[in-house]
Amino acid sequence: MLDVRNLSKHFGGIKAVDGATFTVEKGSITALIGPNGAGKTTAFNCISRTAVPTSGEVWLDGQRIDQLRPHKITCRGLSRTFQISRNLGDMTVLENVIVQSRVEGLRGLFRPAFTSEEKDKAMGILDFLGITRIAHEDGHNLSYGQKKLMDLAALLMSDPKIILLDEPAGGVNPSLLEEIIDHIRALNEKGLTVLIVEHNMDLIMRLSHKVVVMAQGKVICSGTPEVVREDPQVLDAYLGGVLDQEAA
């Protein structure tokens, strides 16, 4: 479904992403992992066009998208979250979910603020995520984990084919983490393709069908969690310390 070809993003002399190539198969949960500074989030930004790639190509369902505007990419079926929630604190959760999902541009100025169809759809998504109880709570009153779930709800409003999740488990308590994992699995079982950046290795190994490992802007390994777990270069440089700590 997603084909990233020789993607690069340079900031002056710094090569944040340096010729990264990988694919995400339709219906899969694919993880993009690596140490801090590996280029994972920058790759996300280039794929979603919130950053302009220096070079390379991104293809979605056989169509090139790296030259499109971000809202056009959303219309093609690719949506993403960010590490830090971008909610509007003075709006309710329901309002945030609707507003963040709109991709109409100026046409939205000539229609009601919120339609009944949008409200019904948003409430259905909040119900699926188990957070209807906070639908009318202001965004600034939410916990960090609740903000993560609200961001996921806003993502689903655009009816995406593939979602990019940037550290959905970061800063989330263990019980809510299990809920997020269950939600991602349920969405995947419904046919949604997932690409996820995450530092929680336990989550990645439990959840992913495929793992892509980046280091210094390059892809150094790609395969099933079992293959990546046993790769000497990955173990020594990126997973070894985490796995040794878990074993201890």
pLDDT attached to residue 139: 85
122-152 burial, b if ≥16 CB within 10 A, otherwise e? Answer: beebbebbebbebbeebbeebeebbbbbbbb
Q: Regarding beta strands 29-33 and 210-215, do their DSSP bridges make them parallel or antiparallel, or are they unpaired? A: parallel
Catalogue the E-assigned strands of 111-192.
162-166
At residue 107, does pLDDT exceed 70? no
Q: Where are the domains of the chain?
A: 2-87+159-247
pLDDT attached to residue 109: 47
Rounded to whole angstroms, how far apart are CA atoms 165 and 82? 7
Residue 47 backbone class (left: φ over 0; alpha: ψ -120 to 50; beta: rest): alpha
The 10s digit of each residue's pLDDT in 224-244 is: 998 988 888 787 766 554 444
pLDDT attached to residue 23: 97
pTM, to two decimals? 0.87
2-87+159-247: which CATH topology? Rossmann fold (3.40.50)
Rounded to whole angstroms, how far apart are CA atoms 77 and 72? 9
pLDDT attached to residue 248: 45
pLDDT attached to residue 142: 87
pLDDT attached to residue 238: 62
The 10s digit of each residue's pLDDT in 8-66 is: 999 998 999 999 999 999 999 999 998 888 899 999 999 999 999 999 999 999 999 99
pLDDT attached to residue 42: 95
Rounded to 5 degrees, what are φ and ψ at 219?
A: -85, 120
At residue 195, does pLDDT exceed 70? yes
Find the helix packing angle between 93-101 and 116-128, rounded to 10°. 110
pLDDT attached to residue 130: 92
pLDDT tier, 211 (very low <50, low <70, confident <90, very high otherwise): very high
The 10s digit of each residue's pLDDT in 119-172 is: 999 999 999 999 999 999 998 888 888 888 999 999 999 899 999 999 888 778
| Rounded alpha-carbon distances, angstroms, from residue 242 to 41, 65, 133, 203 | 21, 36, 37, 12
Q: Say which amino acid occupies 214.
A: M
The token pair that represents 170 in the structure block = 């970061």
What's the Rg (C-alpha) of the chain?
Answer: 18
